[in-house]
Structure 1
């Protein structure tokens, strides 16, 4: 009789001892992440430094995309107390290899998750080199009030004092904040919250590399608090291209002694748009300007941006944009101007006056 009474306890103990590693991890995740009324956050991992491992080739060398999203989340203490997390690996690449196909995949997964009510917010882990471009693309095509937050790291996950875990924790905290709704896509790193339109990487290696040029950050975050400085804002919204193809738009960097060869070559190679990373207020040499005139006559849309970094590219200052039928990028840097122009062209909008109106929104 004694044996019959203790048998159930013996079998329960035996099941714990013989539990498979996968089931053990699932049980551990459930224990660390109780099924409560916590908000649901879908984490979409794409790779980057935040998922990197140190390499011995130099003191700061590393290989990006060496750690999975699930492994990354497992290394963030306390994040399971903020939200019920679901992790999906979209890609695992260095951000210099980021491309429009991954952008479309991210955008469609976000649309699907929100349409099916799978998540209350989305957090995307991403490399820092092209984070501002991915954030800006998603900001234009997402069009949902629920938060989408990008985060990353300047140091790999195996580095001394890696910044990834803190950034990841704060990204989830921002994503679950009611204040984060209706703000478009946000970027969270180094205790700072940036809007996708303004944010830019400004230093090759510093932790505080991201700045919101011309506008400043929209808020701050730390493990205890999320604070926004600005009210929610209206967003530009354009549809995703159904065929997953963006028109070819080239960025051409202006410099002293510039001729028109690169401009003419871009037209020959089938570019539908050209963004000039101009000198100063988006300026180019007289010879290059003649090349831009030829491009416009060939049906190519030309946007003047600036290589400077801060400040606006204004219309009709040193360049008569009206006469040359050019578009001034205003606050958008060359890489963001390129994305907006691609999406406008994909939407069938190619009149410079119409494109200028869209570039002038939300600043």
Structure 2
């Protein structure tokens, strides 16, 4: 019996649909959580690369702008919040971490991509690095130019981030940051330039790898504890201890430290000069803070290098904590989480050695 043209077309359509469904089934399932930032920003003209408005484009428009993502993953999106990242708060972090953990606990989610403003991207990524309870990939991505710019970097960064989040090689490497065709570790990366595309660098240890030709290439892994191996649990927390940063500089005084003490902080990170040095004018204030039960961490404002315990200050005698090579802003995050577990400075110092 001969097949009619209509039956043949129906049969061919069925085969194509089956093949498409089979192909989609083979792709990783990636959830994009949008939080705002420049990657979702817009400018007055196509040449506006500064002075634009962040956080104006919704997650679905971001996805629709990069249809190529559908060839590398089954992508779905969710708008968690829509802010410029300088407005990121502890409450935002707790909400985001809980949602990421919820999603990664599902069998139908293979990885998560988070779009984020670059100003505090390094901080959010490190917070998640300590609070995500899964080895599935979590990738933070942003852009240095708004979506309306002639040479916007957001679309290619997002495309690469989706590939990275779906890569088996990314599993177990902690939270990752992907911009400018580079893969960086959340603990180590920092924004180092106000406006250039290659702003995200890891001064001490370098990047983890590259994105090239639709593939992730790794050359090393982070060695400190993270994600599924971390001891911190924020699932039942609705707030974090108040920890602030005080800055070291020539002719520094104790005014800032005293103000923070009056405000009732639980911890202070001192971003000292050099190897976390303490000026004679500020050291007594930090000693007073510790006597009042405030945890004190010595960090450095230099941007790289290890703050040596008992180096520029007798930490054993003062009962202070040395930040290792964490930046002041990341030391603040680890101290906040540490204070949800203990008020023992020796235990806090252990955490700074391990994370």
TM-score norm. by structure 2 comes to 0.90
Matches within 5 A, 1:1-363: 35-55=24-44, 60-231=50-221, 233=223, 235-236=225-226, 237=230, 238-240=232-234, 242-347=236-341, 349-362=342-355
Please state how far the C-alpha of 1:341 moved relative to its aligned partner. Answer: 0.4
Q: Distance in 2 between matches of 1:259 and 1:130?
A: 28
Q: Distance in 2 between matches of 1:308 and 1:181?
A: 32
**Structure 1 pair 203–32 and aligned structure 2 pair: CA distance change class (3 A):** farther
Please state how far the C-alpha of 1:243 moved relative to its aligned partner. Answer: 3.3
Unmatched runs of 5 consecutive residues or more in structure 1 = 1-30
**Structure 1 pair 33–197 and aligned structure 2 pair: CA distance change class (3 A):** farther
Please state how far the C-alpha of 1:55 moved relative to its aligned partner. Answer: 3.0
Q: Distance in 1 between matches of 2:48 and 2:162?
A: 32
Q: Distance in 2 between matches of 1:209 and 1:232?
A: 20
Q: Distance in 1 between matches of 2:169 and 2:296?
A: 38
Q: Distance in 2 between matches of 1:33 and 1:97?
A: 43
Please state how far the C-alpha of 1:120 moved relative to its aligned partner. Answer: 0.4
Q: Distance in 1 between matches of 2:287 and 2:83?
A: 39
Q: Distance in 2 between matches of 1:32 and 1:259?
A: 66
**Structure 1 pair 32–68 and aligned structure 2 pair: CA distance change class (3 A):** farther
Native 8 Å contact 2:160 2:214 kept in 1: no
- Deviation per residue, 1:67-121 (Å, 9 max, x gap): 0111011111411111101100001110111112221121111111122323000
Q: Distance in 2 between matches of 1:64 and 1:290?
A: 42
- Deviation per residue, 1:236-256 (Å, 9 max, x gap): 411116231011111001111
Q: Distance in 1 between matches of 2:274 and 2:22?
A: 52
Native 8 Å contact 1:114 1:120 kept in 2: yes
**Structure 1 pair 33–278 and aligned structure 2 pair: CA distance change class (3 A):** farther
Q: Distance in 2 between matches of 1:198 and 1:257?
A: 30
Native 8 Å contact 1:52 1:67 kept in 2: yes
Q: Distance in 2 between matches of 1:159 and 1:46?
A: 20
3-state SS of 2:281 partner: helix
Native 8 Å contact 1:167 1:189 kept in 2: yes
How many residues are paired up?
Answer: 331
3-state SS of 1:286 partner: coil
The root-mean-square deviation of aligned C-alpha atoms, in Å, is: 1.8
Q: Distance in 2 between matches of 1:284 and 1:302?
A: 12
Please state how far the C-alpha of 1:222 moved relative to its aligned partner. Answer: 2.3
- Deviation per residue, 1:151-197 (Å, 9 max, x gap): 00000000010000110011011111110000110000001000100
TM-score norm. by structure 1 comes to 0.88
Unmatched runs of 5 consecutive residues or more in structure 2 = 1-19
Please state how far the C-alpha of 1:292 moved relative to its aligned partner. Answer: 0.7
Q: Distance in 1 between matches of 2:354 and 2:268?
A: 20
**Structure 1 pair 130–232 and aligned structure 2 pair: CA distance change class (3 A):** closer
- Deviation per residue, 1:238-281 (Å, 9 max, x gap): 11162310111110011111111211221111001000111111
